């Protein structure tokens, strides 16, 4: 057993940390307050190889592996959770195309994602009436000669107003066929009939872009099918297994920042003639935060290691996402409490971390859905 990072992993972590401290932390509050999409920052991340951390070099990726990806995501989220989720979805889209795409699809789209030529990629699975249960989706893809024609709504699509390419799921058979009649397609940004709908006014991760989409008679070539006809649901589930490692890492990054700030505040803030960090009531809160943070980190890195080594990792990724997101929420709450009234105003970053952490329990499968995934594996284990 080896808890040491490899040279590559340490290099990715340190390079990302350096970038985040110099470029992202100074602008994170402004990005949040103005809801400014971090286009320039994302481009810079692409130049560092962070838009394809686990993507082969021949497709422009860094080929640094899943553990390095998790470490990089944690560092970026420590600086700006909005930038981190945008990076996570773009990495996920690149990985999906690299894993399931034809040679033509891989060479056409993945280098544009990894190089930053496309500022982002989008993952369009959820619909207004199909969230935790994407198998009930209603968006359809009808075969018409050499084309497919897509119709229907998508909801909550990260980077939807900016994406160069969308991975889109649609029904290619009867509704009654459920998950066996869902296929996956690649749709380029700006395709006729792809309408960008409502921009969501979110509680947190406000610099990330979240929109509704409407597919209105969107005609794409038959070659835009990703993977096999009616084989799309499996692709979505596999992508989400990996995506959960990214969101768990994001949750750890947010909690890391919160704990650093609460620790510094506790040393600085004086009440009753001494720093509040001298009180055991505060010390125990910080101790609990640190313990939960490190437990989350071990779970996430283990899931990342399993994926990197080609082992089954779905249960471990779900456990990591469940625990890290819920621990992150407990940690930001305690860290806000340590700040007292100053934690409740925008003067200190903890207010943003508190809002940003909340969504990690919701997207890429809610906490309840993670429990369903874990329980299914536990109860079916021989």
Ligand X SMILES: Cc1cc2nc3c(=O)[nH]c(=O)nc-3n(C[C@H](O)[C@H](O)[C@H](O)COP(=O)(O)OP(=O)(O)OC[C@H]3O[C@@H](n4cnc5c(N)ncnc54)[C@H](O)[C@@H]3O)c2cc1C
Of residues 213 and 225, the one with the C-beta less far from ligand X: 213
Comparison of 144 and 368: residue with beta carbon closer to ligand X = 368
Lay out the site mask for ligand X across 58-97 (x = CB under 6 A, - = otherwise).
-------------------------------x--------
The binder of ligand X chosen from 19, 69, 100, 123 (CB under 6 A): 123
Shorter beta-carbon distance to ligand X: residue 16 or 155: 155
Looking at residue 328, the DSSP 8-state letter turns out to be: H
Those residues whose C-beta lies under 8 Å from the C-beta of residue 151, and which sit 6 or more positions away, are 139, 140, 142, 215, 216, 217, 218
Nearer to ligand X, 297 or 361 (CB): 361
Residue 213 vs 282, nearer CB to ligand X: 213
Task: Classify the C-alpha dihedral 337-341-342-345 as positive or negative.
Answer: positive
The reply on whether position 125 binds ligand X by CB under 6 A is yes
Q: How many CB atoms lie within 10 A of CB 39?
A: 13
Interacting stretch for ligand X, rule CB under 6 A, among 22-30, 99-107, 300-308, 358-366? Answer: 358-366
Residue 164 near residue 89, CB atoms below 8 Å: no
Q: Given candidates 70, 74, 90, 126, which one binds ligand X under the rule CB under 6 A? A: 126
Smallest separation (angstroms) from ligand X to the CB of 18? 28
H-helix or E-strand containing 215?
A: strand 210-221
DSSP string, 277-314: GGSHHHHHHHHHHHHHHHHHHHHHHHHHHHHHTT---H
| Cα-based distances in Å from 360 to 27, 307, 328 | 22, 21, 9
Only segment of 47-55, 248-256, 316-324, 360-368 that touches ligand X (CB under 6 A): 360-368
Q: CB of 321: closest distance to ligand X in angstroms?
A: 12
Q: Which is nearer to ligand X, 206 or 334 (by Cβ)?
A: 206
Residue nearest to ligand X (CB): 131
301 binds ligand X (CB under 6 A): no
CB of 33 to ligand X, least distance (A): 18
132 binds ligand X (CB under 6 A): yes
What is the closest distance, in whole angstroms, from the C-beta atom of residue 172 to ligand X in the complex?
A: 18
Residues with Cβ within 8 Å of 168's Cβ and at least 6 positions away in sequence, in order, are 124, 139, 150, 154, 184, 185, 186, 187, 215
Residue 86 C-beta: closest distance to ligand X, Å: 10
Q: Which of 261, 326, 351, 364 is catalytic?
A: 364
- Beta-bridge partner residues of 148: 143, 220
Of residues 140 through 179, those in contact with ligand X by CB under 6 A are 156-158
The answer to whether the beta carbons of residues 326 and 367 sit under 8 Å apart is yes
Nearer to ligand X, 28 or 124 (CB): 124
Residue length of the chain: 382
Is residue 289 within 8 Å of residue 282, measured between CB atoms? no
- From candidates 141, 363, 370, 374, binder to ligand X by CB under 6 A: 363
364 belongs to the catalytic site: yes
Question: In the bound complex, what is the minimum distance in angstroms from residue 206's beta carbon to ligand X?
Answer: 10
What's the angle, vertex CA 313, arms to CA 368 and CA 2, rounded to 5? 120
Q: Please answer whether residues 350 and 357 qualify as being in contact, where contact means their C-beta atoms are separated by less than 8 angstroms.
A: no
Q: Which residues in this chain contact ligand X in the complex, by CB under 6 A?
A: 89, 123-126, 131-132, 156-158, 202, 210, 359, 362-366, 368-369, 372
List active site positions.
364
């Amino acid at each position: 057993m080896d808890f040491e990072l490899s040279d590559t992993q340490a290099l990715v972590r340190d390079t990302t940390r350096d970038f985040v401290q110099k470029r992202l932390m100074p602008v994170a509050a402004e990005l949040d307050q103005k809801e400014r999409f971090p286009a320039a920052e994302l481009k810079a991340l692409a130049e560092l190889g962070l838009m394809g951390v686990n993507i082969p070099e021949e497709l422009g990726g860094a080929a640094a592996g899943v553990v390095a990806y998790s470490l990089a995501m944690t560092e970026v989220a420590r600086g700006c959770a909005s930038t981190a989720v945008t990076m996570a979805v773009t990495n996920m889209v690149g990985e999906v195309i690299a894993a399931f795409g034809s040679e033509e699809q891989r060479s056409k789209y993945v280098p544009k994602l990894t190089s930053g030529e496309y500022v982002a990629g989008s993952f369009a699975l959820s619909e207004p009436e199909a969230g935790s249960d994407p198998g009930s989706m209603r968006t359809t893809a009808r075969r018409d000669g050499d084309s497919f024609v897509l119709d229907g709504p998508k909801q909550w699509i990260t980077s939807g107003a900016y994406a160069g390419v969308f991975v889109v799921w649609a029904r290619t058979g009867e509704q009654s066929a459920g998950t066996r009649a869902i296929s996956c397609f690649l749709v380029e940004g700006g395709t006729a009939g792809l309408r960008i709908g409502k921009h969501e006014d979110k509680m947190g991760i406000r610099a990330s872009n979240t929109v509704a989409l409407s597919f209105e008679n969107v005609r794409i070539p038959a070659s835009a099918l990703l993977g096999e006809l009616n084989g799309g649901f499996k692709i979505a589930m596999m992508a989400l297994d990996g995506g959960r490692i990214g969101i768990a890492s994001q949750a750890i990054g947010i909690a890391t920042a919160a704990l650093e700030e609460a620790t510094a505040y506790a040393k600085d803030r004086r009440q009753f003639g001494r720093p509040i960090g001298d009180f055991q009531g505060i010390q125990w809160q910080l101790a609990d935060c640190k313990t939960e943070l490190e437990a989350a980190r071990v779970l996430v890195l283990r899931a990342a290691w399993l994926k990197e080594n080609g082992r089954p990792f779905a249960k471990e990724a779900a456990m990591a996402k469940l625990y890290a997101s819920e621990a992150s929420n407990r940690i930001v709450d305690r860290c806000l409490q340590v700040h007292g009234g100053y934690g409740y105003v925008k003067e200190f970053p903890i207010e943003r971390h508190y809002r940003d952490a909340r969504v990690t329990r919701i997207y890429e499968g809610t906490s309840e859905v993670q429990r369903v995934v874990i329980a299914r594996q536990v109860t079916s284990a021989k």
